[in-house]
Structure 1
Amino acid sequence: MSYKRGLRSAANAVAESEPKRLKKTTTVTTTDKDQQADAKSRSTEKSYWLFKAEPESRIVNGVDVKFSFDDLKTEHQATWDGVRNFEARNTMKKMNVGDLGFFYQSNCKIPGIVGILKVCKSAYPDSFDKKHPYYDPKSDPENPKWFMVDVEYVRPLKRLVSLQELKELVSKPHSPLNEMALLRRSRLSVTPVREKEWDFILQLAEEE
């Protein structure tokens, strides 16, 4: 069965295939076409979020739960499942189709934000498959305990914005990141992003 940390191919939600093994890539590029698509998808009515995934192999209950931004690019659409924290779950239940999110790679050599994704299906009950590495027998199909959303690839950032860089910036007076959930609630795999934080980080990513 093909499971990854927080992500499972939406196309394979019923019939799973063996997981792909892709080499991790640290270099990301963008094009004018990518930027136009990104701008077109943005709206003042949208909300912004941050999603964490692990790009390097980690075995949970016999399953490799790795998932990188390159994996999302290859699959184009994927299901963000396996979230087993109530606060993160409630955050996902607030998401709407069209909302944008940062893809944050964690538990790796240089953790940080590498790209942008978009919510393409709002929250619905998480998998009840007993072979899922995060299967919860206490979740009742009649009253689901956990939820997931579907996301799709948008584009990479011009450069990786590392966690270390964000931590250094948050200590500065009047920083737009002073209240950023990623830095205040670092253990959560899904967090909200304020519009001013979103815009500031996009600006950072354009700097050499």
Structure 2
Amino acid sequence: MPAHWLLKSEPDVFGYPDLVRVGTEPWNGVRNYLARNHLRAMKVGDRALFYHSNAHPTGIAGVAKIVRAAYADDLQFDPESAYHDPKSSPADPRWSMVDVSPLLAFPEVLTLAQVRELPAWEGSPLTQKGTRLSVFPVTPLQFRAALKAAGVELPKK
């Protein structure tokens, strides 16, 4: 059974429509150790709720699937990148990324206010004030509740 995650992105930088347009994209630039550990725990086939942060409205825009398990984030080695880490080395990289592809766009963004109304999401890092983690696990119950609230079903295999 696939695990479930939430991935946050600012849609003016890279939103769900961008993922649909490009098909597959590395989820890179994560520079928080806990979020990095979550990326490293992802497996091919896992599902991720794609969350638009710093947007109007903020909320879940769709579902992505993990299509490549964690590997070294190449931006950490690029001195021209804002995500460069001079203390990281190719022999022992600090930062990881996964590749994601779109699975299902929501007809409308499931807003943070709507998510907060879902009992399954009580106590989630998403609904707690001050939590800024960009990658974290969600329970199967939270995942199903989000799909139901958005009025969508995942396609059958």
For the criterion TM > 0.5, the same-fold answer is yes
Aligned to 1:132: 81
Q: What letter matches 1:182 in structure 2? A: L
Which structure is higher in strand share?
2
Matched, 1:100 2:47: yes
Q: What letter matches 2:136 in structure 1? A: T
SS at match of 1:153: strand
Q: What letter matches 1:49 in structure 2? A: W
Structure 1 residue 134, shift from structure 2 partner: 1.1
TM-score, normalization by structure 2: 0.89
In the TM superposition, 1:34-45 aligns within 5 A as: 45=1
TM-score, normalization by structure 1: 0.68
Structure 1: 5+ residue stretches without partners? 1-44, 57-65
SS at match of 1:181: coil
CA deviation map 1:42-81 (0-9, x unaligned): xxx100001111112xxxxxxxxx1111111110000000
Distance in 1, Cα, partners of 2:7 & 2:137: 9
Greater relative contact order structure (CA < 8 Å, 6+ sep): 2
In the TM superposition, 1:24-103 aligns within 5 A as: 45-56=1-12, 66-103=13-50
Matched, 1:155 2:99: no
Identical aligned residues as a percent: 37
SS at match of 1:197: helix
Structure 1 residue 137, shift from structure 2 partner: 0.8
Flag as ranges the 4+ runs of structure 1 deviating above 4 A: none
Aligned residues: CA RMSD:
1.4
Distance in 2, Cα, partners of 1:193 & 1:155: 17
Matched, 1:178 2:122: yes
CA deviation map 1:72-106 (0-9, x unaligned): 11100000000000010001111000001111011
Structure 2: 5+ residue stretches without partners? 153-157
Look at both structures and tell me which one has the larger radius of gyration over its CA atoms: 1
Report if aligned partners of 1:181, 1:192 keep a CA contact under 8 Å in 2: no
Q: What letter matches 1:92 in structure 2? A: L
Total equivalences in the alignment: 149
Report if aligned partners of 1:180, 1:194 keep a CA contact under 8 Å in 2: no
